[in-house]
Structure 1
Amino acid sequence: MISALQNGVSPIVANVACIIFAFIYVAGFYLFRNENNAKLSRNHPVVIRNRIKAVAFASIVAPVLVWFIIPFHYFNYSIFQILGLSLPNSVPELLALKGPVLLTAILFLGPLVQLYFERSLPLQSNFDFERDVKDVFFSLLGQRNYVVAPVTEEFVFRACMIAVLYHAGLSTTYLVFISPMYFGLAHLHHAWENYYQWGANIKALKLVVLSSSFQFCYTTIFGWYVSFVFLRLGSIWPPILCHSFCNVMGFPDISDIQLQAPMKRAVIMCSFVLGIILFCWFLYPFTDPANVGGSLYWTASA
């Protein structure tokens, strides 16, 4: 790891910059609304459009701040490389970027097997392209959940934040396990909205505390994973694809497993465990920096 003094970025400045990134990303949600849509649901088309504008604005401001903070004259690489925006130089490197996506699918082996038994996977009888693909992915809600959110969140909270923290000389452990907390904290703004939508009473407060705590834990753990992937491969594209895949799958719902026959139920439960084991087994091989010709982050920091 290059020292913070040599980089010209102090840890304090880097962490303050991360706070600013998170603030800009979330504050835009409220700056782009007015009295007419202040009480609308976050899934209302007007709110979705305004929030897309907000995160697009944050995705422009954040890299500009990165460019001002990091003294690029010290290095032989561009801002596109440091933000992981560079495209692979060869077909093998391009194919190597699929590794984390496959790894994520392995982690979801249990839910995928469950969908298989429910005949709900693509090309199965209960899968309908019009309903499950066209009406979902090409809707405004689908565009937000599976395109805009993964792209902008990973770009701001992964690429931009890790770039400034790395150049402040902070350790790989810090980048993997601490930096995602900004991502988790940024999601807590939903608590304020949910509190009023759920009645603004004691019951609503209890529900908000539980849901927000769960969301913070889930988003932080996910952040550990994609931060690791970003550092290992030096590319923002795999984290974006993994994020989108996780949004498609959602948090595993095991309530319907009991509706399956005993043998199928056993297979599904075993698949949940096997998925976690295989994920851990293939974590390093599927994110090997050598597969993409090396990573400027992992080579220097590992």
Structure 2
Amino acid sequence: MIPSSIANITCISFVILYIAGFYLFEHSRNNGLKLSRQHPIVIKSRMKAVAISCVVITALLHIVLSLYLDNVSLQGTVTLLGLKMNLLPSNLWRVIGQPFLLTMTLFLGPLTILYFDNQLPGQNGFDIGKDVIQVFWSLHGQRNYVFAPLTEEYVFRSCMIAILHQANYSYSYLIFVTPLYFGLAHLHHGWEVYHQLGRTRQALQTAIISSVFQFGFTSLFGWYVSFLFLRTANLWVCVLCHSFCNIMGLPDISDIPHRPLRHRQVIWSSFIIGIVLFVCLLYPLSSVKDSLYWSL
């Protein structure tokens, strides 16, 4: 068993390693000007830095597991991290499909808005070339919908839960506390906002408000995907749900009052129905069969 102090220090180290790469390895200055995190040079350098950080984090994880656990094998570590890919077709729906459907229920309201706007796949307003291929092949798309979900879920879900589970922490701790590390890892955006807005008093207030909001949102999301990881012991479903949530973003309800009455009624009802469905289906659509972490 891993001592709780070592487990938590290791998780803090994961956060530091993940974030430090943003600033230690990026070359984000051009003619003395600080570039935005949205600039292609910054995106590329940060993706490289995070990739290196993930390698270092994996090495640290292996060292800690080897020191405190007996007979740590490559296959055992892969299973512990939820990286197993040899899912039988009959299990794909249970392990991947059902939790993804569960996630979609949370966005029933926004999906209904897209339906009325004729922008869902298969509708006339949906262009697969523009809305899918171009977006996913763009540098911003690769970062937001592929790279960030993969690396963040690997570090803040797989690695952290693997370590803390071996320290015999409870389900409640793994679900509600580990995402706080995930939230803390996003607080550095506030520092960037503060500098980009001129380091004024107003910039500080804006940075604090945005940081608090982002910390709360990322922690809430972290609770959900931590629950999914424990129930499924599968990293890939967490990555898929993370990517989907990034694609959908925060619901935009600003134009709902300007829509026809029937549309408004259906949209608001879909928000409520989506939440009710999510609560009712949370356990039925998240698998526990053969889960390494969750026992019935």
Task: Give the structure-2-normalised TM-score.
Answer: 0.94
Query: 1:173 and 1:125 mapped to 2: Cα distance?
Result: 45
2:70 to 70, 73, 76: 73
Partner of 2:132: 133
Partner of 1:95: 93
1:150-165 equivalences in 2 (<5 Å): 150-165=149-164
Question: Is 1:285 aligned to residue 288 of structure 2?
Answer: no
Query: 2:80 and 2:61 mapped to 1: Cα distance?
Result: 10
Q: Deviations over 1:142-167 (max 9, x none)?
A: 00000000000000000000000010
Aligned length: 290
Query: 1:63 and 1:287 mapped to 2: Cα distance?
Result: 27
Task: Give the structure-1-normalised TM-score.
Answer: 0.92
Question: Is 1:10 aligned to residue 3 of structure 2?
Answer: yes
Query: Which deviates further from its counterpart, 250-259 or 17-26?
Result: 250-259
Query: 1:245 and 1:35 mapped to 2: Cα distance?
Result: 29
Query: 1:221 and 1:255 mapped to 2: Cα distance?
Result: 23
Partner of 2:232: 233
Contact 1:166 1:175 in 2 (8 A): yes
Residue 175 of structure 1 aligns to a residue whose secondary structure is helix
Structure 2 residues not aligned, in runs of 5+: none
- TM-superposed deviation, 1:74: 5.5
Question: Is 1:295 aligned to residue 259 of structure 2?
Answer: no
Partner of 1:3: none
Contact 1:88 1:94 in 2 (8 A): no
Q: Deviations over 1:215-262 (max 9, x none)?
A: 000000000000000001111011100000000000111112122101
Structure 1 residues not aligned, in runs of 5+: 1-6
Pick closer, same or farther for the CA change 1:284–1:75 going to 2, 3 Å.
farther
Query: Which deviates further from its counterpart, 76-85 or 42-51?
Result: 76-85
Contact 1:72 1:78 in 2 (8 A): no
1:24 to 12, 17, 24: 17
Q: Which amino acid aligns with 1:93?
A: N
Contact 2:27 2:41 in 1 (8 A): no
Q: Which amino acid aligns with 1:297?
A: Y
Q: Which amino acid aligns with 1:295?
A: S
Contact 1:113 1:268 in 2 (8 A): yes
Query: 1:72 and 1:81 mapped to 2: Cα distance?
Result: 15
Query: 1:273 and 1:55 mapped to 2: Cα distance?
Result: 38
Q: What RMSD over aligned residues (CA atoms) do the two structures have, in Å?
A: 1.5
Q: Deviations over 1:22-72 (max 9, x none)?
A: 111111000112362571111111001001111111221112211111244
- TM-superposed deviation, 1:123: 2.1
- TM-superposed deviation, 1:175: 0.3
Q: Which amino acid aligns with 1:296?
A: L
Query: 2:283 and 2:24 mapped to 1: Cα distance?
Result: 42
Structure 1 segments, 4+ long, off by >6 Å, are none
Query: 2:5 and 2:157 mapped to 1: Cα distance?
Result: 18
Q: Which amino acid aligns with 1:59?
A: C
